Structure 1
Amino acid sequence: MIEKERTYPIRLLMYEALMERIIPNHPKLSFIEQDYKAWRAGYKGELQTDYRLSFLPEKGFHIFRDLRLQDEKWHFQIDTLILTLRYILLIETKAYAGTLFFDKHSEQMFQTKDNQEKSYDNPINQVRMQAWHMKRWLQNHKFNVPPIYHLVAISNSSTIIKVSDRSLNNLIVKGDVLLSRVLQIDEITSNPSYTDKEVKKLSKSLLKNHSPHYPDILKQYSLTPDDLQKGVQCPSCLSYGMSREKWVWRCPVCEHRSKSAHHKSVKEFFLLISPTIKNRMCKDFCPDISSRTITNILFPLNLPFTGTNKGRIYHMPPDIETFFDPVKK
C-alpha cells in the first residue's frame, strides 16, 4: 500500500525556474545546469525504485516515498521507507554511473567514469545515519522500535559495483535485484513488533510529521534577484516586460496579448524569491507593475493566505507544480 506518493521535487521546479529567469549567458548558468542534471537523474532513479517496489504484495507493505522527518533539532530525509508489522526498511537510491568502489576501511565511495576518478561520501553511511535518526524518532514519539534495515539501491543498470569487503554486498543492491532483496529481508524477520492498529497509528504519525523542505536556491549559488530577468514573460516571444492594459497583458515586442501570463511569474516568485508574497515584495520582481495591479492579479488566484487587507500575506500552495493553469497563448 502506498501511504505517501512521490511528487516532483520542489528543488527541480526551482532549478527550472532559475534557468528560465536567470540573465542570459550568466557565468554560473553552466554550474546550475550541471547540478540540475544530477538532481534530475537522481529523481529518475527514485522513480525506477518506485516501479520495482510496485511488485510487492499490496497487503502488509506500507510504502512512504520521499519522507522528511524532524529528529529533535535535525531533519532527515528518506527516499523510500517500507513499514511492516515486523520491521522497517529504509532505501537510499543513487543514480551513479560508471564503476563504483565501496571501501570499507576508508568508508568512502569512489567513482570511475570517463577515465576520471572521484570520491564521494559513502551512501551506506548516509542511510545508516537515517536509520539512527529513525530509531530516535520512534522512541521520542513513543513507538516500539522494530528491526530497522537499510539498503543502498543503485538505479543505473549499467553501473559496475565493486566492494572491498563481501559484507558490503548485503547493503548495496542493483535496481534489478532490489525486489528480491526486500523479499529476502521479509522472509528472515518473523517476530512481529506491531499490531495492525499500531501500524495504522504509526503510518498516520509519519504522514502528519512529514516536513517538506524549501531550499533557498539563489543563496545556494550566491545569487540575488538582480541576477534574474524582471517582469512578466510573454508566452509567445518569451521576452520579459509585458504591460497590463485593463484585464489583459500586452507584449511591447510582439504585441501578443494574454489574460494569464502572470501565472508563471507568480509561480517563479514563490520558487525563487520567497514562499510568501506581500504586495510590496513583487515590485522588485516586476517593477513595471503598480501595487494596485499586483493586488488585482493575486486575489483571484485563490492562493492560501493569512492576514487581511494591506496585511494579507499569500503563501506558496503545496501543489505548486499543478496549482496554476497552463498559460493561455
Structure 2
Amino acid sequence: MIKGLRTLIQRLDTSHPLYTKFSQELQQQEAGDFGEQHIIKQLQKLANTLEIVILHNISLPAPIPIQLDIVVITPYDVVIIESKNIRGSIQLKLKPRQLIRTLETGERHIFNHPEIQLEEYVFGLDKFFKRQQVQVDVTGVIVFPFNNAEIQYDEGQFPVLMIRELAHFLRQHVLNKQSQSKIPSEKIGHLLMEHHRVYQIPSFCTYYNIDPQAIKKGVYCRQCIQKKLIRNKKNWFCTHCKMYDKTAHHQALQDYRMLINDQINTETARHFLELPNRHITKRLLQDYCTERKGQNNQMLYQL
C-alpha cells in the first residue's frame, strides 16, 4: 500500500480532486508502519530473555480474513499487539466506543476504538487455532509506540500501553502464566507463517476508482523523481541530473502494473512510455517480460 500510494501521488497531478486524500492516507500508512517497526525493535530486545516469537504483518484468509500488525507468541499464549501511532490528545471512550483525537490547534477527529478491531483479530485467530486443532489462549494489547500522544481512557477489554510500558507488561504477563502448561511457540510460529498469505489488492485505479487517463505518462528519473527522461539512442537521459539510465523504463512499467494493469500491449506501452515508435517499444517489452501470450498485434506482455 505504501509503495503504491507513493507511485500514485507521483503520477497524479496536484490538482486532482483526490490528491490531498491520497497524500494524507500515505502519511497515515507510513506513520503506522514506522510505529510497528519501533515496537518490533523493542520486542527483539526481549526475545531471548522471555523466549518469545515475534511475527509482523500476518494475514490469514480463513476462517475469518484478518491482518495482524504484530503477533507475540509467549511460552504460554499468543498476544496480538495493535499499534496506534497517533499524535495529540487521545481519549478512548467505551460508551460509545470511540477514539477521539484533539490536535494542538483544537481540531478534533473521531475514529473507531482500536478495541473493536482487536476483538475481531482475537476472535479470528482463536477460530484459526481451533480449526488447526491447536489449544492456545489468545489475547491482545493496544500500544502507542511514541510519546507524542496524551492518553485518557476508560478501562476496557484490553490493556492500553505506551511503548515504555510494554517490556514490563510482557514480563509480568509471562510471570503470571507460569502455572500453566507451556505451548510449542516455535511450532505455532511456523503454523502461522505457513498459512500467511500476502495481502493482494487490484490495480490502484480499480481499487480507488480512478480514471487511468489521470495517470501521468512517461519515464521518470530515479534520482530527482519528478523529472521526465528523454530517449537518447539506446539510453534514457535526465536533462536535470545529467544522468543516463538504461533501464529506467523498468520502473515505469512497474508503475503501470501497480496503478493500471498487470498486462500491456505494444501500443499501450508506447503511449505510456512516450516512445517514438512501436519497434523500440516491442524490443524493450521483449527484453523485460518473460511471459507473454497472443500473436503479432494481439500480443499481451505480463508485467
Establish whether TM, by shorter chain, passes 0.5. Answer: yes
Equivalent of residue 192 in structure 1, options 181, 189, 210: 181
Corresponding residue number in structure 2 for 1:213: 199
Compute the displacement of 1:228 (Å): 1.2
Correspondence for 2:167 among 159, 176, 179: 179
* TM-superposition CA deviations, 1:73-110 (whole Å, max 9, x none): x4211110011331001001011111211122212222
1:33 is paired with a residue of what secondary structure?
helix
* CA distance in structure 1 between the partners assigned to 2:10 and 2:47 by the alignment: 42
User: Unaligned stretches of 5+ in structure 2?
Assistant: none
Work out whether 1:277 is the aligned partner of 2:263: yes
Q: CA deviation at 1:233?
A: 2.2
Report the counterpart of residue 132 of structure 1 in structure 2.
123
What secondary structure, in the 3-state scheme, does the structure 2 residue paired with 1:213 have?
Answer: coil
Residue identity matched to 2:181: P
Amino acid at match of 1:98: G
Structure 1 pair 179–28 and aligned structure 2 pair: CA distance change class (3 A):
same
8 Å CA contact 1:279–1:294 kept in 2: the answer is no
Matched, 1:115 2:106: yes
Q: Is the 8 A contact 2:58 2:69 kept in 1?
A: yes
Give the letter aligned to residue 216 of structure 2: Q
In 2, the alpha carbon distance for the partners of 1:204 and 1:38 equals: 30
- The residue identity in structure 2 corresponding to 1:277 is Q
Q: Is the alpha carbon distance of 1:207 and 1:312 closer, same or farther for their aligned partners in structure 2, counting shifts above 3 Å? A: farther
Contact 2:71/2:81 (<8 A) preserved: yes
Distance 1:287 1:204, change over 3 A: same
Name 2:142's counterpart in structure 1: 152
Indicate the residue corresponding to 2:81 in structure 1.
91
Find the counterpart in structure 1 of residue 61 from structure 2.
70
Question: How far did residue 307 of structure 1 move?
Answer: 5.9
Deviation of residue 193 (structure 1)?
5.0
- 1:260 corresponds to which of 243, 247, 261: 247
Cα distance 1:158–1:312, how it changes in 2: closer, same or farther (>3 A)?
A: same
Aligned to 1:203: 189
Q: Cα 1:71–1:116, aligned 2, differ >3 Å: closer, same or farther? A: same
Answer whether contact 1:229 1:240 (CA < 8 A) is retained: no
Secondary structure class of the residue paired with 2:220: coil
Give the 3-state SS of the residue equivalent to 1:160 in structure 2. Answer: strand
Q: How far is the alpha carbon of 1:18 from its aligned partner?
A: 1.2
Deviation at residue 52 of structure 1 after TM alignment:
1.5
Cα pair distance change 1:205/1:148, threshold 3 Å: same
**Structure 1 residues 243 and 252, CA gap change in structure 2 (3 angstroms):** farther
Alpha-carbon contact 2:94-2:156 (below 8 Å) kept = no
1:224 aligned to 2:211? yes
* TM-aligned CA deviation for residue 25 of structure 1: 3.0
Q: 2:93 aligns with which of 91, 103, 116?
A: 103
Identity %: 17
1:143–1:202 CA contact under 8 A, matched in 2: no
Amino acid at match of 1:186: V
Match of 2:230 in 1: 242
